[in-house]
Amino acid sequence: MRNSFRNLQWWELRRFYYNLIILVCGYLSIQIATISIPLFYILFGIALNIGYSLNWLLDNALKKNRHAGYSNALFISYVILSILLIFGFSLSLVFR
């Protein structure tokens, strides 16, 4: 139980930085696509945060199966995936 709590703590300490990156990327993406009503981006941000929470659970499962040490790689991979999804949506609006 204690290891799971430490793992949750590790992920939650990084959530602020993740949300800051997503906020900046979302703002830039809105500027690229010139969207006046960013409701989709708000919903997309909520969905990405739910996915962030699922990463904590995935990390817990990996650690229970003796695959420890992947937290940083999982975090960085999810940040990159989130950025690509945000800008991919924006660019799909620009080039449609």
pLDDT of the residue at 74: 92
- Per-residue pLDDT at 63: 79
So what's the pLDDT on residue 33?
Answer: 85
pTM: 0.87
Q: Give the pLDDT confidence score for residue 27 in this predicted structure.
A: 92
Q: Report d(CA 19, CA 3) in Å as an integer.
A: 24
pLDDT at 2: 61
Give the residue numbers spanning the domain of 19.
2-94
Report CA dihedral (14, 20, 25, 26) to the nearest 10 degrees: 110
For the chain, what is the domain count? 1
- Smallest CA-to-CA distance from 10 within 60, 49, 65, 46 is with 60
Residues of the chain scoring pLDDT < 50: none
Model pLDDT for residues 16-37, shown as the tens digit of each residue: 999 999 999 999 998 988 877 7
Residues 6+ apart with CB under 8 A from 4: 60
